Structure 1
């Protein structure tokens, strides 16, 4: 799985993510200086192994230039942040299903119909629940589809290539 981010400063953004998650997932950064104008329909969820680890990841992200943001998540056990160019991501509380994923627990894609989107990949759907569907092929992060009623984005600043 390859995740591609548009970035005004690809080298700096690559440095941020490299420091934060290491080399566990392939992230590509391409030059695009158009301003970010809306929430990305694709984001990364980072795994943690304990409450202390979650705090340490959030602190590192903030030290590297991330900021906490409110996207309407309410009172949840995960922390929502954005990277230095405004790309949203979450640092999850410890969850058993993400203990063997590496630093990136999941690539999350907002869609109107999560089950249909997961099935359209051609891979077996591993989990479904209230408003989500997940699959995983091999080691690494889960690919998760999350229900949204948001309109389709005006821009595609983050893209996933599934090989």
Structure 2
């Protein structure tokens, strides 16, 4: 039994506008559905995407707090010139520079139109085949423990693991990485960005959720009621959902 990460869930007051921003940022298409906006390849909607993570932007009534998100996206670039072009293009789309204490670093930290932080990375060989989305990055206290939990929770493979960081990627070696970085401080606000996981065909979502609880996940009540998905937190309190196959 295993689950596959299928999308990054972003909460937004104006889900259509935030969806359009991320579609333009990643060179994808904003599919406006009944309630949410799904960012994925152009053409007919294919969900889940077999090669990468989509982005599902979900409307919520309240804006982001001043607290830094514990999960953010890193964008890949291929050269210094490309990095500068991406930063300029995203700034023109409404992104703003953000100081999260990064100091003098070769990447650029920005926030989207509702304040969600993300990074435009300097060119790095490790991300040469990820596509525009290089990584989903999670702040945590114990990268080793987080990598163990998420590797057991999903079918993704652990790569480099140290006391300071840990990395997972799909077993096929495609799409973005999932990275855990050691950062001080715990949860200061409900998560604005989280991962959604999907069982494989024929696998029972309830049984998968029970398996995750045995690994250390905890049930989470977000007011979802009798929704067909299950809201959980990992052992450090990062929120995620186990979706029901459509």
TM range (shorter): over 0.9
CA distance in 1: counterparts of 2:70 and 2:130, whole angstroms: 22
* Residue aligning to 1:78: 107
Deviation at 1:162, TM superposition (A): 3.7
Deviation at 1:4, TM superposition (A): 0.5
Superposed counterparts of 1:1-150, under 5 Å: 1-21=6-26, 22=28, 23=40, 25-37=53-65, 38-121=67-150, 122=152, 123-129=156-162, 131-137=164-170, 138=172, 139-150=174-185
CA distance in 2: counterparts of 1:102 and 1:15, whole angstroms: 18
CA distance in 1: counterparts of 2:81 and 2:163, whole angstroms: 29
CA distance in 1: counterparts of 2:123 and 2:56, whole angstroms: 27
TM-score by length of 1: 0.95
Question: Bigger shift: 36-45 or 126-135?
Answer: 126-135
Contact 2:10 2:193 in 1 (8 A): yes
CA distance in 2: counterparts of 1:89 and 1:12, whole angstroms: 17
Deviation at 1:152, TM superposition (A): 1.4
| SS class of match (1:29) | strand
Per-residue CA distance 1:63-89 (angstroms, 9 max, x = gap): 100001100000000000000000000
Larger Rg: 2
1:160 aligns with 2:195: yes
In structure 2, runs of 5+ residues without a counterpart are 1-5, 29-39, 41-51, 199-246
Deviation at 1:92, TM superposition (A): 0.3
Question: Bigger shift: 16-25 or 134-143?
Answer: 16-25
Contact 1:7 1:31 in 2 (8 A): yes
Deviation at 1:153, TM superposition (A): 3.1
* 1:161–1:79 Cα change, 3 Å: same
Q: Which has the higher contact order (CA 8 A, sep 6+)?
A: 1
In structure 1, runs of 5+ residues without a counterpart are none
User: How many positions carry a matched residue from both structures?
Assistant: 163
Contact 2:140 2:186 in 1 (8 A): no
| SS class of match (1:126) | strand
